[in-house]
Amino acid sequence: MIKATELREMSDEQLAVTLKETTDNFFHLRLQAQTERLDAPSELRKNRRLIARIKTIQRERERAAAAGEEPNDA
């Protein structure tokens, strides 16, 4: 699982690629869950939370850019 600190170190392009991959993986996991072939249901939660982390960091960067300042690394 990727931590928030690791995500903050990524560039905007890397975050976008990671978000796309995670979203695609989440879609496939949901399909498996519907067809009752999902081995680890906890993967759904992990992917959903990772998507939320990425979107949160992207939004933080958008707001920092709109305010005209650099995003803080906290």
Q: What does the buried/exposed string (b/e) look like for 46-59 if buried means 16 or more CB atoms within 10 Å of the residue's CB?
A: bbeebbebbeebee
The token pair that represents 11 in the structure block: 């560039």
Instruction: Please tell me the pTM assigned to this model.
Output: 0.84
Considering the domain boundaries, does residue 72 fall inside one?
A: no
Considering the domain boundaries, does residue 39 fall inside one?
A: yes
In whole angstroms, how large is the CA radius of gyration of the chain?
15
The token pair that represents 52 in the structure block: 């939320």
The predicted pLDDT at position 39 comes to 87
Q: Name the strand (E) or helix (H) holding 54.
A: helix 42-67
The tally of domains found in the chain comes to 1
Considering the domain boundaries, does residue 49 fall inside one?
A: yes
The token pair that represents 70 in the structure block: 């650099």
Q: Which tens digits make up the pLDDT trace of 9-43?
A: 999 999 999 999 999 999 999 999 999 888 899 99
Residue 30 sits in a domain whose CATH number is 1.10.287.310
The token pair that represents 53 in the structure block: 């982390």
Is residue 73 very low, low, confident or very high in pLDDT (cuts 50, 70, 90)? low
